[in-house]
A and B are shown apart, each in its own frame.
Chain A
């Protein structure tokens, strides 16, 4: 599967993003192949969110290039290639929408102007709910789910969207152990289907079991490879700024 003909799911080349005087990403380069589960590791402010935003086209790099399944972020966006599972605190759990409503929102990009769901849309939603084992909760208001169930609802939205690349922002924050295992299993299945899953986290416990590869980020890519190599203590010390020399580099 790593043959020369494979189009990378994500390819960042020398991506630099500045917010005024603050450097979000500093010539970050990384290539992630399809069908992989990749952990994106770094402390707060290391550029994880900025990397996600540049993949989704929410920020435009000051220099460098981003390709999503070989497409520019703008075109990938129009085709619904990237699915996004937000952090818990980004979502208002009291919002008056049901689980099925949320998953249906994954289909909006494919619908007509009025966003009136077709039979195919309803079927896709039912299938995605089944996939994440939330069928019986379809009509619940999203606040009536546990943290882990809510995460799965947003994964289902990505599935219904038909996204080839799924970005998950801190999916295990505020999620109990059992839900964590369920989510991990689900992400593995999605990768086995050929989708690409990128999990941004500063929670390292879950990574070796979940991920095929890990990317260590401190505004630039410090290491990329097998999670057991990438997450070695001396590497982590650099990424989390415990190594003073690395900081001053």
Chain B
């Protein structure tokens, strides 16, 4: 069993470094929470909104750093501010929604960059942009675990209402629920999740973790509860593969994690039993060869 021992040794090697353990735990937690959220985002069609909010929290996080407040507070404030501004621009001018989203989040993101450039700090705030998973301290890890647990708990407790909101908000209203409140809840969790994830893969790549796992799971199953299992599993596996491969290949960990998710999506896109394009093509071809000619059978 030397081969097995060798493999085990290889897998355990990175774990002798505390920073690698913290990186692995933080990334898996962030990936799982993002993946849960992504199931609703891709079904509602809020991928672009996820992109917008995850970028727009940047100035909030920097301001929170400056005044010494928790990052989550700053992120929540700016997450909702972004959504409100998008609504204002969309509803009170002739500018369409996609343009409104593009204008608001890039401007807020730019504000964040400017704030970073004028803020003297020990820790490099630039790490927020591209992530700094290998530099995560114990305090950061605690924050990631707490926020991640809160976000996941809120999503799982309200999952049936959120799914109804995504599917048929009019009915939700008709039976006395508040679609507006449920939408706000989802956006709030989105802002929290952005904070969880930006220290691992960074603000720019958060959006990948907020879209890819849900979209991948959606191609694999027609049952929403299964999506809530499949998406986090794929995201967690991608996180582990990404962190390990970045260690051995000496590449950017955040990039590797997202790359692993992208590869997983590509594989599912091609060979998903239900909705894979390659599988569908093979099935069509097989049917054409096997089935009798249409003109020889009775209709």
Contact = CB atoms under 8 A, between A and B. Distances in A.
B176 A96 contact: no
B218 interface: yes
A84 B170 contact: yes
B174 A95 contact: no
Interface string B217-244: 0100111101100000000000000000
Interface in B228-280: none
Given A98-B223, A114-B157, A115-B161, A86 B177 contact: no
B90 to A, nearest CB: 15
Nearest to B218: A96
Contacts of A147: none
A105 B171 contact: yes
Interface residues of A, number: 31
Interface in B150-186: 157, 160-161, 163-164, 166-168, 170-177
Contact of B176 (A78, A91, A113): A78
A115 B168 CA distance: 16
Contact of B174 (A77, A97, A113, A114): A77
A57 B43 CA distance: 26
Contact of A96 (B164, B173, B177, B227): B227
Contacts of B163: 97
Taking residues whose C-beta sits less than 8 angstroms from the other chain, chain B's interface range is: 20 to 34
Interface in A49-89: 56-58, 77-80, 82-84, 86
A60 B111 CA distance: 39
Q: Which of B161, B163, B167 has the most CB of A within 10 A?
A: B167
Most B-side CB within 10 Å, residue of A90, A91, A101 = A101
A111 to B, nearest CB: 8
Nearest to A53: B170
A116 B30 CA distance: 28
Interface of B: 43, 157, 160-161, 163-164, 166-168, 170-177, 218, 221-224, 226-227
Interface of A: 56-58, 77-80, 82-84, 86, 90-92, 95-98, 101-102, 105-106, 108-109, 113-115, 141, 143, 157, 161
